[in-house]
Amino acid sequence: MPKKVSDYQKKQILDSFVNGTTLKILSEQFKLSQTTIVRQLKNNLGLVKFNELKDKNNNLKKVSKKIALVQSDGDNKSDQNSEIQQFEDNFIEVVPILDVIDLDNQKDLTSEPLSEVKLPEMVYMLVDKNIELLPKMLKDYPQWSFLPQQDLNRMSLEIFDDHNYAKKLCSKNQKLIKVPNPNVFLIASSSLKSKGITRIIFNNLLLSL
């Protein structure tokens, strides 16, 4: 048997419905089936007015959900902005130390004076078949490609302390010769510079004449 609805409940249901409460919520509030509530409202409002209010209330519910989502998203953004602001407040900028480093000339520090380096008693170098020197530009060596362009255009000679390794690099048009006294490069530095040769490559070292 359907639950009997008091006159007081009928008035409350009607007022709530007119003020925008949906049928589902009314059913939960008054512990009545939606069928019972619909019947009471149709009796009081008529079918046309009832349908108008029902559509209006449903639309209001949809709008409320959208507003809630926007507000929730706004709260999340607010929390994110707060976190970002907190990070920025706690962030300490480290100022680069530029007054003691000349960045333009920093890479020049890779070269060392030949006079300050102790070479092995015996080194090897490649020459052409006529025993002429075979200088190469530093830009021809990938390991030195980080140097400034001015240095990459410098002429260099490469010497080796490993006979077998140097022999593998020797082409058909070249010869591998021994240099029993590496100091010869210092002795002949003026002559080498006159030919445009200003650097000696030895293993991972770049030596300046």
Whether the pLDDT of residue 126 is over 50: the answer is: yes
Whether the pLDDT of residue 98 is over 60: the answer is: no
Integer CA distances (angstroms), 84 to 39, 81, 94, 147, in order: 56, 5, 19, 40
Over residues 147-165, the pLDDT tens digits come to 888 889 999 999 999 999 9
What residues make up the domain containing 36?
7-90
Considering 49, 68, 90, which residue would you say is the last residue of a domain? 90
Residues 80 and 150 in one domain: no
Whole-angstrom Cα distance, residue 162 to residue 156?
Answer: 19
**Residue 104: its pLDDT value, please?**
47
Considering 90, 114, 135, which residue would you say is the last residue of a domain? 90
Whether 184 maps to a domain, the answer reads yes
Whether the pLDDT of residue 69 is over 80: the answer is: no
Number of independent structural domains in the chain: 2
Residues 64 and 42 in one domain: yes
pLDDT band at 41 (very low <50, low <70, confident <90, very high): confident
**Residue 158: its pLDDT value, please?**
93
Whether 128 maps to a domain, the answer reads yes
Whether 2 maps to a domain, the answer reads no
Mean per-residue pLDDT of the chain: 79
Residues 139 and 167 in one domain: yes
Q: How buried is residue 98: exposed, middle or buried, by Cβ count under 10 Å (0-12/13-18/19+)?
A: exposed
Mean pLDDT of 162-185: 90
Mean pLDDT of 164-182: 90
Residues 133 and 176 in one domain: yes
